[in-house]
């Protein structure tokens, strides 16, 4: 199908089917049955076999109608990871409820002692019959309180090098032994949580990949997360946060009477330059059929969006001037700029820190030598530990 064919078909389908009065579950089922929920997936897995750019055309048409339900082939990390690496049984059992919005998920990756170095994680999974028993702690988990499943990485073998002893599970969150504590953030929000797991269980049927093969599964899941974060960073995150693009900066400068300031104009142009280069790299990532190249370009895109958000916050501060030091509902401009400045660090840390992304770009794009790994072949239990 051509792009115009896709655009016309989805418009016609929406015209015939979209009704804002429908309850959410009925509408989600209708979208799912029609293949619009995951349009770039194969028809046998509830999709339409479209390209990624065509999937975005579908998303744009849904958004224009105010209709939810599409885009799970880009935004649903739980479903995307299972689509790529799950067994047929796991796909049939776990993906449809997630796509229809009947189940929700969160990410159980980072730990207090294993953030940027995820391979250093110490959450333990031990086999017990048809289950695995989980003990450990996770941190920086969004949506933990509402999640039905957590994408969990845990250590199943302590006698092999650290990357080889990790397994990946779709972990049921609503069970005894799971305690969730909100984390208070500098922005005043509590979007993240600590998760304490003590003797909780996950069926072996929810193991994705092989025991000890979780690191490769995690890389796929992280690639989807970085792409999602890049997409989200292009739009507003919350009412207090202005849009991250040059148009919003132009409007802000015009409102402040600073659009004729040559320095401000130059800074706005700089942000737009970063954004343009990032769009080109994103298009290149979508066009390539090489999975490794696409993952590398997405890492580059993620760090680029981090830079754009920080630069946008800096230029907004320049435009707002002293007002940027004011917060609260009585100072909407200053409050928004302060929120943007503080919240920019979310993208610098989440989904892999800027430093980790630079390592990926240095090694995989520039061909620079890897950092020394003196313990690369050392069993995990023999690694030096500060604990």
Q: Catalytic positions, please?
A: 225
Where are the strands (E) in 91-191, listed by range?
105-108, 124-128, 131-142, 149-155, 166-172, 178-183
Q: Are 336 and 242 in contact (CB under 8 A)?
A: yes
Alpha helices (runs of H) in the chain, residue ranges in sequence order: 3-17, 24-34, 52-65, 72-75, 77-85, 88-99, 214-233, 246-255, 262-287, 291-320, 332-349, 354-360
User: Alpha-carbon distance 170 to 82, whole Å?
Assistant: 9
The half-sphere exposure of 43 on its side-chain side, counting CA atoms within 13 A, is 1
Which of 68, 90, 66 has its CA nearest to residue 78? 90
How many C-beta atoms lie closer than 10 Å to residue 209's C-beta? 19
Q: Are 45 and 90 in contact (CB under 8 A)?
A: no
What is the three-class DSSP state of 147?
coil
């Amino acid at each position: 199908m051509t792009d115009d064919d896709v655009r016309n078909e989805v418009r016609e389908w929406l015209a015939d089917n979209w009704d804002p009065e429908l309850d959410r579950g009925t509408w989600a089922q209708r979208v799912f049955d029609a293949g619009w929920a995951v349009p770039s997936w194969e028809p046998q897995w509830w999709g339409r076999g479209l390209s990624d750019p065509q999937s975005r055309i579908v998303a744009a048409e849904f958004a224009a109608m105010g209709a939810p339900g599409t885009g799970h082939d880009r935004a649903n990390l739980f479903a995307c990871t299972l689509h790529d690496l799950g067994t047929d049984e796991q796909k049939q059992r776990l993906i449809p409820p997630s796509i229809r919005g009947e189940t929700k998920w969160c990410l159980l990756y980072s730990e207090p002692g294993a953030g940027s170095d995820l391979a250093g994680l110490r959450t333990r999974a031990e086999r017990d019959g048809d289950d695995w028993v989980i003990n450990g702690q996770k941190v920086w988990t969004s949506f933990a309180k509402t999640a039905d499943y957590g994408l969990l990485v845990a250590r199943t073998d302590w006698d092999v090098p650290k990357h080889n002893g990790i397994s990946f599970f779709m972990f049921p969150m609503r069970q005894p032994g799971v305690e969730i504590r909100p984390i208070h953030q500098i922005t005043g929000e509590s979007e993240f949580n600590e998760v304490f797991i003590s003797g909780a269980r996950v069926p072996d049927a929810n193991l994705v990949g092989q025991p000890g093969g979780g690191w490769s599964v995690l890389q796929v899941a992280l690639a989807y997360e970085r792409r999602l974060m890049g997409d989200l960073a292009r739009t507003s995150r919350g009412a207090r946060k202005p849009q991250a693009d040059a148009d919003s900066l132009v409007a802000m400068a015009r409102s402040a009477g600073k659009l004729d300031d040559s320095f401000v104009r130059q800074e706005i142009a700089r942000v737009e330059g970063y954004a343009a280069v990032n769009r080109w790299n994103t298009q290149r990532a979508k066009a390539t059929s090489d999975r490794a190249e696409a993952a590398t370009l997405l890492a580059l895109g993620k760090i680029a969006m981090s830079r754009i958000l920080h630069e946008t916050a800096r230029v907004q501060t320049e435009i707002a001037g002293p007002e940027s030091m004011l917060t609260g509902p009585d100072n909407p401009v200053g409050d928004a700029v302060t929120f943007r400045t503080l919240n920019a660090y979310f993208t610098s840390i989440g989904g892999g820190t800027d430093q980790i992304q630079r390592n990926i770009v240095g090694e995989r794009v520039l061909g620079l030598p890897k950092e020394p790994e003196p313990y690369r072949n050392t069993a995990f239990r023999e690694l030096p530990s500060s604990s």
